[in-house]
Chains A and B, each alone.
Chain A
Amino acid sequence: MRTGNLQIAASWGLDGLGATEGPPVTCDWTAEGAMPPLLPWLAILALLALKPNRGWSAWWIWLPLAGLAAGWHYLQRAIEGSNTGLPNGALDVLFDVPVALVFGLAALWLLASYLGRSHRLSAFLGAWFLLLVFIVFSFAALAGWDQGVEPIMGLLDPRQFAATTGGGVMAVPLLVPLALLALVVAAAMLLGGLACRGRDGRFRLCAWLFLSLVAVWVALAAALHFLCPTALLLNMEFGPLLFLGLFMALFTFAMLLPFLILSSASPFFRQRLKALLRVTPETPPLMAPLPAAA
C-alpha cells in the first residue's frame, strides 16, 4: 500500500531562521516486488536443469540451501527483536552476505562436475569465478541491485573510481568482502584437495578443509596487515585481525558443513565434492581380457 507517489516533507522549528514546514518532495516509490529475492532460487533451479544434474539426487541440494537460508533468516529476526540498536537496514545487508555465500556454495556443488575435468589451477580459478558470480548475483538480488551492482559499475567508471579512492574511501565496500569470501573458499578447496589427494575419507576431507580454511584466513589476515593501509583496517593490530581471521574460518566452515554432510550422505554429491577437491583416484586403465588361448 505504501508505494506510488509519496510526498515527503521535513519540519523543524528554526526560531525565525526559516519556516518550520519545508516543501514536500515527491518520490515515486515502488517497493521491490517478490521477484528479485526469488532470482537466486530460480538460478539454482536452472542449474538443476543442466545435464549433469538431471535426476532426483541433485534436488537434495535444497536441503542445506533452505536450511541455512532459514537459519540466517530467523537469526536476523531474533537480533532485530533484541533491540541491539543497529538499524534494520544495516542488519538486512549484513545478513544478506552469508545467505549469498550459501547460494554460491550450492551453485558450486551443482557445477562441480564441470570443474573436475580441468587442471587443478584452472579448477581453482573456475571455482573462484563461479563463487564470485553467484555470490555477487545473489547478494545484489537479496540486498537490492544498487547495493550489489552499482559498486561494480563504479569500479568500471575510472573517474568515479579515482575520485573515491583518492579520498581514501573504498570504492567498492561491499564487493571486496564478497570477492574475498569467494577467494578464501576456492583457495581452501585447492589446499584441502592437495592435502588429501587420493585419500578420500569423510572425516579426513572435513578436517583438511577446516585446516585449509584456517590457513587461508590467517594468511589473508597477515597479508591485509602488512599490505593494507592501517586506516582501512580501522587501525586493527595483528592480534585482533588474527582473531577475526580465525572467527571467519569458523564461520566459513559452518557454512560449508551442511554441504559436506550432504556430500557424505549422498553418493551423488560425494562425487561432486571429490571433483571439487580433485581427490578422485585416476581412472584405472581399461583392462582388456586376455585373449583366450587358442
Chain B
Amino acid sequence: MKLLKQFYLTSTLIVALCPGNARGASSNTTTVPLEYRETSFQFLFRNIPIERRPVPFPKEPAAASGPVVRGVLHFGGHPSNAIPFLWQTGAKRLCLGLNRSQDLTDDSAGMFSARVMWSAEPTFIAQMFTNIHLSFPASSGGAPMLVDLRFCLDTARRPGQPLCNAALRSYWQGKVTLEGHDWQVGLVQNMSDAPGSFRQGQLLLRPWEESSRAFHAFSEPGDTYVIPWSEQNCVVRASDAFAFSPRVFFEGHACLLDWSAEPQGRGDKLALRLTEQQTALGELRITGSFIQRLVLTGETYVVVLAQPPASVKVPTGRYCPYRVWLQQGQTRAYFNFGLPQSGMANVLEEVTGAKLPVLSHPPPEQAVMVNDRRPAVLAVGGPLTNGVAATRHGRELMLSYRLTGAGGGEYKVWQGTNGQSPQFTVCKGGKEIGAGQFEFG
C-alpha cells in the first residue's frame, strides 16, 4: 500500500511539472533555471569583522576631512576573500579594493558615496553605502552578490572600533510547479563563514503568489542590530528562507536539490535540479487554523507547508524547531518560538550589550516526532486569543500583553492591526475603573 502511494506521488510530480521546467535525464528529475535577482529591500544581515590598518595604504585617494578608518573587511576566514577599504567619514566616501589589491586608486568601481544615516549623537557617525557588487571566488564559484554596507563609528566612546554590517540584496530565483501550484524557489548566498557559497547559504521556498512580497532570510540575532528592535524578533523567525538543506519536502513531494555548475556572472543561470525522493511518510495533525506557512526543520528534511490542512503527510523524523506564520486578511502573526542557529538564548548582543528578544530554550517536548505508526499532533495555529498577565512589582501592578494560539504558544503580530496597539480595561464589580493601551517594550 505504501509503495503504491509513493509511486502515485512520483507519477504526480512528473505529470505536474510545468512546461517551463526542463526534464532531466532521469524521469523524476526536473531542472529549474535560477536567475539573478536584485531586490530593493535588505533581507540578510551580517556583521563583517574589521581588521584596522594603522598606516595608510600604498596608494589612496586624496585625503579628506573628518575621521578616517582604514582596514580590511574579513568575509569569512579565507584571506583571499578579505577586502581592503578606506572610509573617509568627512567626504562620506568608501574606497573598496574589490580587486583585493592595496592600491585603492586603481579601481573606479570600488568608490562609493554614502547616504548618511540618522544618529542620536553628533559623535556617532553612521553611513550606508549601497549597491556594492561583491564576489568571493575563494569560497564560491564567484557568483556576484549585491550588498549594502553600513559603517558606524562612535568617535567619543569607541573611536578605535568601527563597525560594519553588510545587508544582502540579491539572490537567485526560479519557478517550479508541483501539483499544479507554482512555487518560488531561490538560493541566497552565504555571507558569513563561506561567502558566496550556495550550499552554505539559504533556501527561499514559498508559493509563487507571494513572490512579489518582501522577505527576510535568517540572520543571527547579533547581526540584526541595524534594524529596529521591534523587527529583530521577527527576522530571526523568518519562514520564507531558511538554512539550505539539500532535502526538502513541499507540496507533498520529497526532493533532493542539486546543481553542477555555479554561475559566474549576473547573466548566467544556475540550473537547480529537483529529484524526487522516496521516503517514509507519517501523518501530522495540526490542531490550529489560519496557518499560512509552517516550516519544520528535521534531521533529514526541511518541510515547507503552505496553508496546510488539518492532516498532512510528511517524512518521518523529529522536527524542531518549527516556524509558524499565520495570516488572515492583512494581518500576519508568527509563533514566537525557536532558537537562532547559534543555539544561544538570552545572549548579550556583542555590539550594544543589550539582551536580545529571544526566548529561552524550547522544552524538548515541543519537538514533534512523526512516525508511520500513529499520527503526530502539532498544537499550533489560531484562533489567537488576546490575554493579559498581571504581576505585582512593588507598588505597581504590571500588565503584560499576551497573544496565545490554539495550542497555548505565544504569538506576535507582525503586520496589520492598522498600527494600533493592544488595549486593556480594568473592571471592578462589572464597572470599568481604568483603561489604557500597552506600550511596546
Residues on A facing B (Cβ under 8 Å): 1-2, 4-25, 27, 29, 31-32, 89, 92-93, 143-144, 146-147, 167-169, 230-237, 240
Contact = CB atoms under 8 A, between A and B. Distances in A.
A13 B422 CA distance: 8
B426 interface: yes
Given A17-B326, A17-B328, A234-B353, A25 B393 contact: no
Contact of A14 (B360, B413, B421): B413
A15 B331 contact: yes
Interface string B334-359: 00000000000111101011010000
A266 to B, nearest CB: 35
A144 B331 contact: no
B427 interface: yes
A10 to B, nearest CB: 4
Nearest to B430: A7
Contacts of A233: 353
Given A13-B420, A16-B328, A22 B426 contact: no
A5 B428 contact: yes
Given A7-B428, A18-B382, A234-B353, A144 B392 contact: yes
B130 to A, nearest CB: 28
Contacts of A231: 348, 350, 353
Interface stretch (B73-81, B303-311, B396-404): B396-404
A83 to B, nearest CB: 15
7 contacts: A1-B433, A2-B426, A8-B425, A14-B413, A15-B416, A89-B394, A235-B353
B386 A14 contact: yes
Contact of B424 (A10, A13, A92): A10
Contacts of A8: 388, 390, 399, 424-427
A6 B426 contact: yes
B40 interface: no
Interface in B411-441: 413, 416-418, 420-429, 433-434, 438
A167 B329 contact: no
A5 B394 CA distance: 18
A25 B387 contact: yes
Nearest to A164: B346
Given A89-B398, A92-B396, A144-B396, 12 more contacts: A6-B390, A9-B386, A9-B425, A14-B384, A15-B331, A15-B417, A16-B328, A18-B382, A22-B387, A24-B427, A143-B395, A168-B348
B95 interface: no
B394 A92 contact: yes
Given A2-B434, A17-B382, A235-B352, A31 B388 contact: no
Interface residues of B, number: 56
Contacts of B158: 235, 237
Contacts of B421: 12
A257 to B, nearest CB: 29
B438 A7 contact: no
A23 B353 contact: no
Interface of B: 157-158, 290, 326-331, 333, 345-348, 350, 352-353, 355, 360, 382-390, 392-399, 401-403, 413, 416-418, 420-429, 433-434, 438
A10 B420 CA distance: 13
Nearest to A166: B346
B288 to A, nearest CB: 10
B393 A146 contact: yes
Given A6-B427, A240-B157, A16 B393 contact: no
Contacts of B346: 167-169
B433 A2 contact: yes
Given A5-B428, A11-B425, A19 B383 contact: yes
A144 B388 contact: no
A92 B395 contact: yes
Considering residues A9, A21, A29, A237, which has the most beta carbons from chain B within 10 angstroms of its beta carbon? A9
B432 to A, nearest CB: 10
Contacts of A144: 392-396
Contacts of A27: 390, 397
Contacts of B396: 89, 92, 144
Contact of B428 (A6, A169, A234): A6
B326 A25 contact: no
A7 B395 contact: no
A3 B178 CA distance: 61
A183 B206 CA distance: 60
A2 B417 CA distance: 31
